[in-house]
Each structure stands twice: as structure tokens, then as C-alpha cells.
Amino acid sequence: MNERYSRQILFPGIGKEGQEKISGKHVLIIGAGALGAGNAEVLVRSGIGKVTIIDRDYVEESNLQRQQLYTEEDVAEKLPKAVAAKKHLAMINSAVKVQAHIGDATPEVLEDLTRGVDLIMDATDNFETRMVINDVSQKLQIPWIYGACVGSFGMSFTIVPGKTPCLNCLLRTIPLQGLTCDTGGIISPAVQMVIAHQTAEALKILAEDWDTLRKTFVSFDLWRNQYTSLKMSKAINKDCLSCGSNPTYPYLEHENRTKTAVLCGRDTVQIRPSASGEISLEQLARQLSSLGYKTKGNPYLLSVELEGRERIVIFKDGRALIHGTKDLTRAKTVYQKILG
């Protein structure tokens, strides 16, 4: 072990004792896209004991621009990302145990996968799953590292139950990004920057160097040369339903999840968002049109043409009809790609 990880052991923040701790730890990575692939590779190269990866998608050609683990062969074989990630990670470090789960990161699935892990890495692409991660983290008292990027913009925050504000607390303070890679595009350096922030924090936690954890919420825009670091200690909310004095973990409750239903006699799925709120259809239409989507709307709804036969009709309350499919998972993926 000493030779393989010798440069890491030489680093004072880790050393031999820290490396031994890292080798006994288990990390759950939720999402195997750009952030997930990068986080997994860094941790596997660092000698983590076990990595569990969950993802519902498969490798497509557009992924290759930034998702560093995957190859053209994976695209040709249409391999699920979790399976492709496991295959490549095994070739990088065969001593690390890698588990792959193909499927949706539902509250039930995440609660089951999270038991016994030391750290959760956020590499998902949608707000709803992050809120589920947040509640699972608080309920089971497991730290997690938030990360997100789109365009040239990225952000990250380390959440330690009982020590820092949770994501639900942060929503009262920081407006989180609503664009996705499918609507705002992305450049690879932004991905790498978020991965660097996430994995640096991960190594601190895995080596149990808690005093050096970053206590700020960081965000940056590489294209505009901007970097911000905000202290978040005052964001802790004692009445927070996720981490407060009387938590109820609202995002684990069935009634607060996105509702999906296949419409009878139609090749259409209806989706209702988990949280209530009003969407600016005019602003959304301008944004999507600028990205090349064909849109048509009125004061009540917006219709967006997608690939093939698919079309999404969005209403002001966030409800949407995804035409051209009866697959609930596919419909949910389309919804989150367009609306974040």
C-alpha cells in the first residue's frame, strides 16, 4: 500500500494514519454523470475501501465531453452509467470494492443504501433528489457534500449533521441554480472545479481531519473570473424541519414527492412537482428558445418540442404533461432536464 499511495501519505494532512482510515471507509455516490464519475475516480485512486454508485441513466455521446470515465465503446453498447463506471474503476484500482446500482434514487432506496456508509457525495442533476439526500443525511447522521455546476458556474458546500446548516436551511439564504446542463450547457473545467472542492472535503472527512473542513459555501464562474466564499453559520435554523430541534424529514414523506401518472388512453405522463410555486412561462420560453428549443405558448402553458416524438407542456404551477412516452422514469428525466 505504501508505494501506491506514497505521495498521498507524504502529505501531512493525511499521512500513514489517515491513509489507513481512508482505506476502511465507504462512500455512497448518488449520480454517475460528470460529477459522479469524477468523484468516483478520485476516491478510487485515493484508496477508498468501498464505493457504492447509483444512477438511472445510460452513457450517451453527449456525455463524453465532460464525463471522464466513459468511452465511445460505452456509448456503442449503451451501458448504464453505474455499470460502465464500475468497469472502468475496477481497471484503475482493483483493490477497491465498487458496487453499482441501476435505478432511481428514491427515499426508500437511499435510506437502504446509506446505512453503514461514512459519507454521501451529491452528484445528481435535480433539486428533488438533493432534498431527499439532505433528509436521509440528517435522519441517519451521515455527512454529505453538495455539488452542482452548469455553464461555467459551480458551487459546493459540506453538510455535517449537528454542526452545519443543512440544504433546507440554505434555501432561506441562497438562491440555488435552476438551470441544467441540458438547458444551460456546461464546460468541463467547471465540472473539474466542483469535483476538486468536493473530493478535497471528502478526503478530510475520510481521514477524520474534521477541524480543516471548509465552513463556507463556495460558488464560482470560471468564464467571468468570479469566486465567492460565504460564511453560513448564521443560516442554521432551529425550526428547520430537516435538521432543527424537532425534525420531521419532510422530503422523505410520500406526499412531498413528485407525482407521476400515465394518462389513460394517451401516450402521455403527467408530473406534479413536490413543491408548490409559480413558474414564469415567459422567462422559461425565452431561455429555452435561446438554446434552440422550439416553443409555443400562451398565458396558461408552454409547449416545448423535444427529440423524436416527445413534447413537454408546462403549466404555471409547475405541472407538466410529457407527450410521446408512457415510461414514468423517462418522463421524470425529461421533466428534470428542462426544469431542473
List the CATH number of the domain containing 117. Answer: 3.40.50.720
The pLDDT of residue 153: 93
Residue 1: inside a domain: no
Same domain? For 265 and 248 the reply is no
Q: What's the length of the chain? A: 340
Residue 306: CATH number of its domain: 3.30.310.10
Same domain? For 103 and 193 the reply is yes
Q: How far apart are CA 46 and CA 296, in angstroms?
A: 50
pLDDT of 43 strictly over 80: yes
Q: How far apart are CA 298 and CA 92, in angstroms?
A: 53
Residue 202: inside a domain: yes
Same domain? For 90 and 176 the reply is yes
Q: How far apart are CA 98 and CA 59, in angstroms?
A: 18
As a whole number, mean pLDDT of residues 76-97 equals 94
Closest by CA to 8, choosing from 34, 39, 44, is: 44
The answer to whether 27 and 51 have CB atoms below 8 angstroms apart is: yes
The answer to whether 25 and 119 have CB atoms below 8 angstroms apart is: yes
Same domain? For 59 and 181 the reply is yes
Closest by CA to 303, choosing from 283, 321, 324, 278, is: 321
Same domain? For 262 and 248 the reply is no
Residue 207: inside a domain: yes
Of 225, 252, 279, which residue constitutes the final position of a domain? 252
Q: How far apart are CA 240 and CA 275, in angstroms?
A: 16
pLDDT of 1 strictly over 60: no
pLDDT of 293 strictly over 70: yes
Same domain? For 240 and 267 the reply is no
> Residue 329's CB: how many other CB atoms inside 10 A?
14
The pLDDT of residue 238: 93
Q: How many domains does the chain have?
A: 2
As a whole number, mean pLDDT of residues 282-307 equals 87
Residue 33: inside a domain: yes
Same domain? For 49 and 128 the reply is yes
The answer to whether 129 and 105 have CB atoms below 8 angstroms apart is: yes
Same domain? For 190 and 327 the reply is no
Q: Would strands 119-122 and 144-150 be described as parallel, antiparallel, or unpaired?
A: parallel
Same domain? For 224 and 309 the reply is no
Same domain? For 214 and 230 the reply is yes
pLDDT of 177-188, one tens digit each? 556 666 678 899
pLDDT of 250-285, one tens digit each? 999 866 666 776 765 568 887 878 766 788 889 999
The pLDDT of residue 219: 95
More confident site: 115 or 20: 20
The answer to whether 300 and 290 have CB atoms below 8 angstroms apart is: no
Of 192, 221, 252, which residue constitutes the final position of a domain? 252
As beta bridge partners, residue 156 has 147, 218
The pLDDT of residue 30: 97
The pLDDT of residue 317: 80
Same domain? For 129 and 194 the reply is yes
How confident is the prediction for the chain on average, in pLDDT? 90
The pLDDT of residue 178: 58
CA dihedral 132, 135, 138, 144 (to 10 degrees): 20
Full residue range of the structural domain in which residue 110 is found: 6-252
> Residue 310's CB: how many other CB atoms inside 10 A?
16
Taking the mean position of all CA atoms in its chain, how far away is CA 1?
A: 32
Where do runs of H (alpha helix) occur along 265-327? 281-290
Of 252, 280, 303, which residue constitutes the final position of a domain? 252
The pLDDT of residue 339: 82
Same domain? For 112 and 56 the reply is yes
Q: What is the pTM of this model?
A: 0.80
Least confident of 57-66, 188-197, 268-277, 287-296: 268-277
The answer to whether 321 and 313 have CB atoms below 8 angstroms apart is: yes
